[in-house]
Chain A
Amino acid sequence: MRHSPDQHSPGEGASSDPVSPRRTTRVRRNILLNFVCVVACAVAAALGIGAGAATLRLPPDIAYDRSPDSPGPVIFSHVNHVALAPSTEGECTGCHPEPFKMLKPSRHVTHDEMNAGKLCGTCHDGKTASGVQDDCEHCHKARSQSGYSARTGGTP
Chain B
Amino acid sequence: MSVGLLFDSTKCIGCGGCTAACKEQNNLPLPIEPVTTAYTWTIVEKRDGAFVRRLCMHCLEPTCVSVCPVGALQKSASGGVVYDAGKCIGCRYCIMACPFGVPKYQWDRAIPVVGKCVLCPDRVKAGLATACATVCPTGATLFGDRDALAREARARIDAEPAKYVDHVYGLEEAGGTSVLMLSGVPFERLGMKTDVPRQPLPLLTWQILSKVPDFVILAGAFLFGLHWITHRRDEVRQAEEDER
Contacts and interface: CB of A to CB of B under 8 A. Distances in A.
Partners in one complex: yes
B137 A102 contact: no
Interface in B1-58: 13-17, 19-21, 23-25, 30, 32
Interface string B123-166: 00000000100111111000000000000000000000000000
Contacts of B14: 91
Size range of the interface on B? 20 to 34
B24 A91 contact: no
B23 A97 contact: yes
Given A52-B13, A103-B131, A96 B20 contact: yes
A98 B135 contact: no
Given A57-B137, A92-B135, A102 B16 contact: no
Contact of B20 (A56, A90, A93): A93
Contact of B24 (A52, A58, A97): A97
Size range of the interface on A? 10 to 19
B138 A102 contact: no
A56 B137 contact: yes
A92 B16 contact: yes
B25 A103 contact: yes
B16 A91 contact: yes
Interface in A84-140: 90-93, 96-98, 101-104
Contact of B17 (A52, A55, A101, A102): A102
A57 B24 contact: no
A90 B137 contact: no
A112 B15 CA distance: 30
A116 to B, nearest CB: 18
A26 B191 CA distance: 56
B80 to A, nearest CB: 18
Nearest to A55: B138
Contacts of B134: 103
Nearest to B17: A92
A56 B13 CA distance: 10
A61 to B, nearest CB: 15
Given A98-B30, A101-B24, A92 B131 contact: no
B14 to A, nearest CB: 7
Nearest to A58: B137
Given A56-B138, A96-B20, A97-B30, A90 B25 contact: no
Contacts of A102: 17, 20-21, 24, 131, 135
B139 A57 contact: yes
Question: Nearest 4 A-B pairs (CB), nearest first?
Answer: A92-B17, A96-B20, A97-B24, A93-B16
Interface of A: 52, 55-58, 90-93, 96-98, 101-104
Interface of B: 13-17, 19-21, 23-25, 30, 32, 131, 134-139
30 contacts: A55-B138, A56-B13, A56-B138, A57-B136, A57-B139, A90-B13, A90-B15, A91-B14, A91-B15, A92-B15, A92-B17, A92-B20, A92-B137, A93-B20, A93-B32, A96-B17, A96-B20, A96-B24, A96-B135, A97-B20, A97-B23, A97-B30, A98-B30, A102-B17, A102-B21, A102-B24, A103-B24, A103-B131, A103-B134, A103-B135
